[in-house]
Structures are given as structure tokens and as C-alpha cells.
Amino acid sequence: MAARQECIITRELIEADEHRRLSERAAFADTSQGRLRPIPLDPYRTEFQRDRDRIIHCKAFRRLSHKTQVFLAPEGDHYRTRLTHTLEVSQISRSIARALGLNEDLTEAIALGHDLGHTPFGHTGESALDSELRSIHALDPTGPDGYHHNVQSLRIVDHLEYDGKGLNLTQEVRDGILGHTGHTMPSTLEGRVVRIADRIAYVNHDIDDAVRAGVLDESDLPSDPLSVLGAHHGARITTMVNDMIQTSANRDDVRMSQEVWAAMMALRSFLFDNVYFSERAKAEEPKAHAVVQRLFRHYLDDTDDLPVEERPSGPGERVQAVVDYVAGMTDRFAIREFERIFVPKKWLL
């Protein structure tokens, strides 16, 4: 048998392979719309692979490991954090993209960056910042009209990382991050895969965490959607992923069948009624809301208490600088800052 000839896999070889292997509907790395600031091409990585690597190595990505997904300060090591949610979205997105012949690297980069803008304490912190900004906007319409984590995610990769230089990502990744939620749909099919995979991930893992926390019992779940999706966590994800692949094949869009989408949305509605807004799951929510609210107001009144590198460069930047700092906090850092500012030192001994 002849010895296998080894070669170095260069960027050009990967790009050529994309054109041989992927669907004509895919986004191709060598035809990317480019970056905000052009940079030399990498010899071994495509532009989308570089974006994935830049996101993984940035500070905001590392902070996700200490940001709440649903349950505040859970007792136990197996509850999802914002980071584990992100990794699950990435895995689901890649599986769907691979089966549909879409660009897996682009899909992965979007998935890894989609939640960088989430606040401490999950949606509770987002709600606190949102209400503060809406109050300010009512008095000064030139300011931000509420807080939207997808917008903040884009701001992080465009402006805040790398000491204010940003990650300088490709337009396709930026578009997917911004469009993973909200009214604007991503322009690429890869971005649309992530948008739906995000929902597949949180609907399923939030049920899993709620059962682990004792907020739900498996028998509490509504029978009609389970009859469509499956009785167990893995079965439900498999049903949703396979249905999305089969429904999206040879189409100009990605979607689930009406039956499976309706079943997923029914489970989502059930979670809102019985988990997200339940008294047991959210018993600590008012406290977390108050922590973020009071930190925001404190720094807005005294921007000199911000780290030097986080301080606004001018009066018009004051609100945004405080939003950037508070939104970037992890849960535990926000609590430490709250204690430093508002709790007498003797009480902390």
C-alpha cells in the first residue's frame, strides 16, 4: 500500500473545499463582505474561522461562565450558565448547518458571539438596565431607547474588546449576532440557523434545569407538545433538529415544520408561565434587579468611581459608558461592587 502523502491545509485549500462541498445557498469565506477595517488574510484560516477564534479568546466570552442563564445563584454545579448555553447553541447550530451544506465556521462564530452582551443576572439584569434607559430616554430622546443584549453584543465586538479597538469581525458574523433576536432577520442562512438554534437550546435546557431545581416535575410538562417532540430532553432536541434539517432542505430559508414549531412554542409558553415568572424560580429576582439598578444609578452620578479606562471621554458618552461597564459585569463581580459601595465594611467582616 502506498504511503499516504501529507500536506499542509492552507486557507486556499479550505476555501476551495467550501465551493466543492457546500450548498450554493451557503456563505463562502472567500466572498465575505469583509471587515470594518481590512487586514491581511491568514495563511491557514478562513475569515470566518478567524472570527470564531477572536471571539473565543476575548474577555467578554470568558465572562459568560459567571453570568446567569435562568436560575440566580443556583446551588449545584450542573445548572446552565450563559457560557454553557452558548456552547449548546453552537453545537446545535453546527449540526444543522453541516447537514444543510451551510458554512459551519460562520455558523459557529455567530453562535459563540450571540450572547456576549448579556448582563449579570440574566434577563433580570437586562430588565433593570432597560427600565433605567427608558426612563432616561423619556427625558432625553437622544439617549439609548432601552437595553437590547443583541445590540450590546455587537457593540462589544465592534468597539469594546481589544482596549476599544473591537474584534473587527466580518460583516456576516456581525449581521448574525445582531439578528439572532429581535425584528431584523439575519441576511445569511447561517445566521438564521443560529436564531432558531438559540430557541431550541434554551427551551430544552431550561426544562432540564427547572426539573433539577425542583421547580418542575417531568409529569408537569404539557402532553400535547411532548407527543410531537418526545418525552425526554435528548429526544426533543433530536426531533427539532431533524425536523429543521428536513424542512429546510432545498429551500431558500431555514425553518421547522408548522407542527414542530407550534409544539416548541407551546413548551416555551409553558416555561414563561411556570418557570421564568414562577415565584420559586424568581424568588431572588427583585434583589438582583435592585443590585443592577443601584449600581447603574451610582456610576451615573459618580463616573469617577468607574475604572479609569471605563470612564466617558465626554459628557455625551456618560450614559453609554455606565451601560458598558455594568452590562459587562459577571454576577459575582456585581455583588462585590454592590457590597463595596453600599454595605458598611464592618458588616462584611
pLDDT digits (tens, 9 = 90+) for 53-88: 999 999 999 999 999 877 665 555 557 789 999 999
Please answer whether residues 28 and 18 qualify as being in contact, where contact means their C-beta atoms are separated by less than 8 angstroms: yes
pLDDT band (50, 70, 90) for residue 160? very high
Number of C-beta neighbours around residue 346 at 10 A: 6
pLDDT digits (tens, 9 = 90+) for 239-255: 999 999 999 998 899 99
Identify the structural domains of the chain with CATH numbers, from first to last.
Answer: 42-348 (1.10.3210.10)
Q: Give bridge partners of residue 244 from the DSSP assignment.
A: none
pLDDT digits (tens, 9 = 90+) for 6-43: 789 999 999 999 999 999 999 999 999 999 999 999 99
List C-alpha distances in Å: 39 to 166, 170, 342: 13, 11, 46
Q: What is the mean pLDDT of residues 270-282?
A: 78
pLDDT digits (tens, 9 = 90+) for 253-268: 999 999 999 999 999 9
Number of C-beta neighbours around residue 242 at 10 A: 14
- Longest CA span, the chain: 78
**pTM: predicted TM-score of the whole model, two decimal places:** 0.94
